[in-house]
Structure 1
Amino acid sequence: MSAAPHDARRALAAIALALLSALFFTQTYVLNRAIASDGGHWAWTASLRYLITLPLLLPLMPWQGGIAPVWRALRAHPGAWLRCSAIGFVGFYVLLAYAADSGPAWLVAGSFQFTVIAGMLCAPFVHRHAPPGDPRRRIPRAAFAIGALIFAGVLLLQLGHAQGRMDGAAWIALGCVLGAALLYPLGNRLLLRHLERSGEDLNATQRVFGMTLASQPLWWLIAGYGWTQAGAPAWPQVLLAGAVALSAGVIATILFFQATGMVRDNPAALGAAEAMQAAELLFATALGVWWLGEAWPHGIALWGAALVVAGIAAFAWMVARPPAGRAPDPRALRTDRGA
């Protein structure tokens, strides 16, 4: 079996896993919107997800490499883990929870799709110390062009929903979501780069557990802020946050980390896997209409949704047909165990 077809199949498998993770991630927007509609405070919405995620991960660890390797990695490099989790988990989700009451679930999901190009924009920063010939130091032009197409669709969605006008609160919410879309892939990529440099061998579940554990002190501080502002959370908010923790915090995050770990050394495929989160827009639209009674996108917003779908299809086509005559980097063929 030649290396190129193997590499293409690995990239397509990563895209499939990323699409599946997008389905579970979508619960975040729909359930957070339901919490916000019931008056739940954003600080509790954010902190409860990760406070609940930690005990949910514990039963999985004996079958996913165990806790001991994660604990050794945390003790050896606590600053790196705290930095990555503060960026990729805490900053990301605080901004997303704060924006949850800004509009329909599909609108927040659509804004978050800035992540399809944000991750690629992070590459030169994350790999600035890599050797000059390392392809990860460059922004893959074809992948970036397709990501820009998807983001153009996102902008059309926003314009369609706002009917050409957005008030101050809407712009603040949009800024929060765009910030979250940048911080999530940045935290993930920084952790992958740290593990590569340290030589520590952690799989996707161990990486999620490590970042969840490292972020706990910050989540307790945010929960304390929520207590001072709104008192104890109501039980419906706790239950909905628990559902987000299981769906997005455990299942979706592990699937996403697995997908990106599989293609971490293939810049175009990595960008494609990250861009599959754009499918959240489609899932959020259907769930928001079905469960929350939100309106379907129409007019210019519908054209925006069509561009998102076209971009997803273009990414799948691109990674399935690697450039002729170019030998893939053998590191791209490693399993997630080497991530």
Structure 2
Amino acid sequence: MLAVGLALASALFFTSSYVLNRAAANVGGHWAWTASLRYLITLPLMLPLVHWQGGMGPVWQAIRARPGAWLGWSTVGFVVFYMGLSYAASSGPSWLVAGTFQLTVVAGTLCAPLLYDDERRRIPWQALVVGLVIVAGVLLMQAGHGGGIDRAGWVALVVVAIAAFAYPLGNRGLLLHLERNAGRVPELNATQRVFGLTLASQPAWIVLALYAGAVSGPPPVEQVWMTAGVAVGAGIIATVLFFQATGMVRDKPVPLAAAEAMQGSEILFATVIGVLWLGEAWPSGRSLLGAGLVIGGIVVFSWIAARSATADEREAKALRSARGR
């Protein structure tokens, strides 16, 4: 129960990405500032955390050994991922973005054939079925929002779907790189990997910040504070809570599945906070049904993933890494 409680708390803090990004868009903040500021602020905030969790030395050694891999996977897993979430924030309510991003729950499994050349490239049929249910739920949510005729909303759906696949692809790609270079690069824990990806992505964020300044001028003060809130809430607090929760029950399939399934509550948190704070409309009709399908699919998929992960330490490692956002 403690692990589930910590996972639920982490979902609440992860929700800050959707709600505060939407709030930043509402005050006129450019999406490129929202994306770049979050990771420019996160890097110094992570310094004391990574010092406590193994130090920066092994991270820097691993990056220097294979800089191309770190630059490439950080671009996929962090830059493409968060640019998509930030761009979509102005196109629909926070619950819609939160619900669509839950595609990432099955995206890691569906990306397996692109990464692995061993037994891990197999996609379980159960995962495919549950994935189709989640996709159907996302489409219902979008169809119910604005009567399904909001062109910007459908563009945002595609963008968030790309982000949902880019995130686990980048994280699992880095894990595979470290696995194949074991013995030649230091072994890194989850916090060190997240810090390394954040550090390696900094050139891209600096370029994006220069672009944001050129097209929109300096960011509003409110946007800076909101992105700092995301950096602390989602980037630090939520990540630590989730790693702690899943680490406590990593060898117990049922509690692990329950902890993983708590990410479905992000839709509920985003809905309530968006309605009460941002004045967004409650989901109804097809959108409400779609949200229910997404949450139900997450619960079932978490059970399937937890059972297989406890039998395969490499897959468990991928699952733990896939939430360092």
Closer/same/farther in 2, CA of residues 41 and 139 from structure 1, 3 Å limit? same
Partner in structure 2 of residue 210 of structure 1: 196
The yes-or-no answer on 1:155 pairing with 2:155 is no
Of 290, 314, 320 in structure 2, the residue corresponding to residue 304 of structure 1 is 290
CA contact (8 A) 2:175 2:318 kept: no
The yes-or-no answer on 1:223 pairing with 2:209 is yes
Partner in structure 2 of residue 84 of structure 1: 73
Partner in structure 1 of residue 268 of structure 2: 282
Of 53, 65, 74 in structure 1, the residue corresponding to residue 42 of structure 2 is 53
Closer/same/farther in 2, CA of residues 273 and 225 from structure 1, 3 Å limit? farther
Closer/same/farther in 2, CA of residues 301 and 213 from structure 1, 3 Å limit? same
State the distance in 2 between where 1:335 and 1:35 align.
Answer: 32
Task: Give the C-alpha shift of residue 229 in structure 1.
Answer: 0.9
Question: Per-residue CA shift, 1:278-310, capped at 9, x if unaligned?
Answer: 432222111111211111111122212222232
State the distance in 2 between where 1:16 and 1:316 align.
Answer: 16
Task: Give the C-alpha shift of residue 253 in structure 1.
Answer: 4.0
Of 210, 220, 227 in structure 2, the residue corresponding to residue 241 of structure 1 is 227
Superposition pairs for residues 262-273 of structure 1, below 5 Å? Answer: none
CA contact (8 A) 2:42 2:232 kept: yes
Closer/same/farther in 2, CA of residues 271 and 236 from structure 1, 3 Å limit? same
Question: Per-residue CA shift, 1:119-177, capped at 9, x if unaligned?
Answer: 211011111x33xxx2x11112212322322222222111111313232x222222211
State the distance in 2 between where 1:121 and 1:270 align.
Answer: 21
State the distance in 2 between where 1:172 and 1:316 align.
Answer: 28
Moved more, 64-73 or 151-160: 151-160
Of 99, 121, 139 in structure 2, the residue corresponding to residue 110 of structure 1 is 99
State the distance in 2 between where 1:201 and 1:228 align.
Answer: 40
State the distance in 1 between where 2:315 and 2:203 align.
Answer: 35
* Structure 2 residue identity aligned to 1:155: L
- Among the aligned pairs, what percent are the same residue? 61
Task: Give the C-alpha shift of residue 260 in structure 1.
Answer: 8.4
State the distance in 2 between where 1:49 and 1:319 align.
Answer: 30
Partner in structure 1 of residue 178 of structure 2: 195
* Structure 2 residue identity aligned to 1:205: T
* Structure 2 residue identity aligned to 1:159: A
Closer/same/farther in 2, CA of residues 211 and 262 from structure 1, 3 Å limit? farther
* Structure 2 residue identity aligned to 1:191: L
Task: Give the C-alpha shift of residue 91 in structure 1.
Answer: 0.9
* Structure 2 residue identity aligned to 1:165: I
Question: Per-residue CA shift, 1:236-285, capped at 9, x if unaligned?
Answer: 11111100111112233455667889999xxxx99998776443222211
Q: Secondary structure at the match of 1:294?
A: coil
TM-score with structure 2 setting the length: 0.85
* Structure 1 residue identity aligned to 2:189: N
State the distance in 2 between where 1:68 and 1:193 align.
Answer: 21
Unaligned runs of 5+ in 1: 1-8
CA contact (8 A) 1:21 1:252 kept: yes
CA contact (8 A) 2:261 2:302 kept: no
Unaligned runs of 5+ in 2: none
* Structure 2 residue identity aligned to 1:281: I
Partner in structure 1 of residue 110 of structure 2: 121
* Structure 1 residue identity aligned to 2:37: L
Of 73, 85, 90 in structure 1, the residue corresponding to residue 62 of structure 2 is 73
CA contact (8 A) 1:35 1:45 kept: yes
Q: Secondary structure at the match of 2:89?
A: helix
Question: Per-residue CA shift, 1:184-228, capped at 9, x if unaligned?
Answer: 111111111111111131111101110000011110000000110
The yes-or-no answer on 1:41 pairing with 2:16 is no
After superposition, the CA RMSD in angstroms is 3.5
TM-score with structure 1 setting the length: 0.82
* Structure 2 residue identity aligned to 1:77: R
